[in-house]
Structure 1
């Protein structure tokens, strides 16, 4: 099938990143959610895809890795194998898919569209269809990226490294601008003013200082005065008692007593995902489901104590405030504990931390073996 491309040639466009869109099957006339990750390593493209569908009332996810090769103005994306540890259902190993797509650009939006087909085997007929994708601006919102990241596979992706380097460069640039603002200007020459006129010091020989001669002192006899009679000292008034220092009222954090929450916390590994620095004496925490609402439930522990118990993740706002005082340690660990996996494993969510006027977004992924944690550090 001939494919026409528009806009810049494919070779001039950066195709690395996350793509989202639709996967259409000709035989069933059904469309399924489809995600594609493309990374580059030494001039070679590496791809992963995520296809979700329902079968007999059960939602399944299949994740595969791919080869990605440029042929003329098109890209050929072929299946290599299925990632069993990331998929919820096994598919025939001898059936493989081949996609031929082109990339086009409209304004700042990159699109990918084309056709796909599978090979014919002894037991399966060849299948055909189309695919239509758009490149995402924020790859962290992708369910595919989150799954690969939870398997420690995403940190080496070229677009992840690029994002990390750009953020580091931005932090360094902000630090340099801050240092430049901190440098004080040279002090202006001080000028004395009298009646609005400036007085300037004139150069000349040093002034000689003439010391006066000491005068002769004549000693005279001084009559001795009789010693004065000491008056009786008035009695001292008792000192006023020092008022007792009133203790500062502390705002207690709500420790939840729920015997059903985080029962396997000690038996799971805890992986620290991010550090957040704060200055305020209180922080607002808000939890959301990150992506599809699939019944995820989490508990949140602060330094090992449950502060949010068995909360279902959704699009509704649920704000929890934690208070900071002088007795609070400078380092606080917040752990997201998965109470279940929802209908689409793993348990993924979005934690928003509000520190005064600053807001931080933390995307986490946890399962029944691993807890997700962040560390809050106080700046003094």
Structure 2
């Protein structure tokens, strides 16, 4: 009965941790201005929200910025409905602002929905903005945010403290199974009482001391037999073989990764931070990558590296995909695709959408990279 109660409490703790949206959320918001759409003016602003969740209440800081034209930092509050995934973030006070002469400062009321796709989490929805001077209507639009590990600014102290609390809860979850083991080991004394008499009856037929010596000799080889089972020298990833440079046609690139990574690490990978965006396990050894601009076409340019080999060089993202066909080698089941931002386009950061097709499997990966940080997608080949 105790074990059932412990398992129930464990599930409650796990659910409480899983539903927490504490962390850094980065993306953009856009004003649905029809005149801007007619004139093809991109009104997308970069948007970062840092959240600390306590029960259903949220404490937050927001950052809104667009190149050097506008920057604002605001304190915010909010709430979450764990059942529906509905999230509200309401800006309360502008803390910092830098703007042009004719630019208004508005506070936003965001109505968002939390979703999860694989390992990625998203907040998407709409906002309404009010002028901070006279509470007049500023406009409305859409918001897109993705949970990230790193801030474009710095992690707020209240967010860091909350993340530590969550880490402690996770540690408690991992520690809960221990009492279950102790409950289950209570029947163990029965096994001990059975083995004890056997140990006592075995010396009785042995009348002389020589009978005890062979017993100890037999136990010794068993203890010595365990250490030889260390054939772990199979892990020899240092054996690196060069890979021939792949052909790179104009639109479609076909790449065979070979048996190992290139020994020559490009400086753009070595000197920038490389953040893993997603890890994908595929069952097909043929993988097709379709890379699009994620959102408004703003002249983002990228290069793509596969296992430290350049396969796409300085290509501009658009509605027409950049296609990379990867043929995986069954002798090596681990490969890294690195997306390098060659520029930030008209609206930073450099964002793209990668559609992955591997047999009957299909994934979508939203990618963000800067001139300081590359985005990495890892592929693991699991076989058919």
Normalised by the length of structure 2, the TM-score is 0.48
Normalised by the length of structure 1, the TM-score is 0.48
Higher helix proportion, which one?
A: 2
